[in-house]
Amino acid sequence: MSQPVDLTGRNVMKNFNPPIKIIQEVKLRRPHMLAAGPGTGNAGLLAVDYLRRGLLAEPFAEIEMDNFFTPPFVLRIEDGLIKLGDMEWEGDKPQNRFYYWRTGKTNDLIFFSGNAQPLPGKSSELAFKVMELARGLRVERMYIAGAFATDIHHRDEPEVMGIASNERLLAYLRGLGLPMAPPVNVAFNLNVFLTGAAMRSGIDVLGLVAEAPVYAMEQANVKAARALVRMFSRILGVEDRVDLADLDDAERDQEKKMDARIEELRDSTDEKARALLEYLEVLEKRQRERRAGAAPTPPKKAVPVPDSLKPIAELYDKARHNKAQVRRLTSELNKLSNEDRMLALKVFGSELLDLIQKTGPN
């Protein structure tokens, strides 16, 4: 059996240089790491933070922000004159912190959470810094938490699916009764780079991804986070230690707010609002049909293609016949506002989402 890793030992401390900063010296036994950064609905980040708070995990290290989040200079323009200014943060400053929790079992647990995407081109560097600490602590497995957009109603219970870096872990996930995630194009967010850096570092990866509604991507998705917390609690054997009451309350509150926003749209004559309402009606019908055991009705094309979506229409037609165009289509869809993405789904139907999700990276 491997010996506990001792951060008080001189040789181990030498391995960690800035921007890795040790806050507290700890001893850990054969640790596993649960990690997440910003992503779809921030569901993975919410789940990891909820679990580490519920387990009273303590901070022991962080990655300093300057190299990854602070641009080399900030410009301020006053009456046409260019001046150098200081960086001003809206909301919380970026933070990448490690926490530990002694399980009392074979494997202690490390939590890593990064609350912001790094500067362009810095995600890979940051991910490998996370893995530098993980290798120094002899982390044996990394759990990654995330979500992806699907054709799901915000009141539907999201399905949690599994991903893994080897067949042995896939078999373990199947033994838990989890379906495997379908082939999807994965956005280049921090979760993707953490996963790739772990695999390049020889660390096994087991991931869980939860569904999130495609029309509600601009807000944190509590329902998806709750589904992830429940499954990770089971995998980690901490179901009796993690109280879901706060997530239950937050989920109900978020559903009520979403319902209220949808009700406000019912008096609107805006084309995009009508498209969203029609789309939601189809999803609600599918809910009822599933409960009744009938084959669900797919969303249908019911809205003419507006001028604003004609470039998307041309790309979509190309991508249907040439899978090499899917990445470009995905990139252009990501540039649209949430309302325009919703309208695109209504115009082109769920086939658009299926094409993006079921076509692997090119």
Say what the pTM is.
0.77
In the chain, where the domains are located: 5-246, 266-358
Q: What is the pLDDT of residues 157-193, one digit of tens each?
A: 999 999 999 999 999 999 999 999 876 656 668 898 9
Q: What is the pLDDT of residues 262-320, one digit of tens each?
A: 998 888 888 778 888 888 888 888 777 777 776 555 544 444 566 777 888 888 888 87
Question: What distance in Å separates the CA atoms of residue 352 and residue 99, rounded to the nearest whole number?
Answer: 40
Decide: helix, strand or coil at residue 136.
Answer: helix
What token pair was written down for 227?
């589904």
Q: What is the pLDDT of residues 30-70, one digit of tens each?
A: 999 999 999 888 999 999 999 999 999 999 999 998 778 87
Q: Quick count: other Cβ atoms within 10 Å of Cβ 48?
A: 27
Q: What is the pLDDT of residues 98-150, one digit of tens each?
A: 999 999 999 999 999 998 888 888 999 999 999 999 999 999 999 999 998 88
Decide: helix, strand or coil at residue 251.
Answer: helix
Q: What is the pLDDT of residues 323-345, one digit of tens each?
A: 778 878 887 877 777 667 666 76
For residue 150, the surrounding DSSP H or E stretch is strand 141-150
Fold of the CATH domain 5-246 = Rossmann fold (3.40.50)
**14 pLDDT exceeds 60?**
no
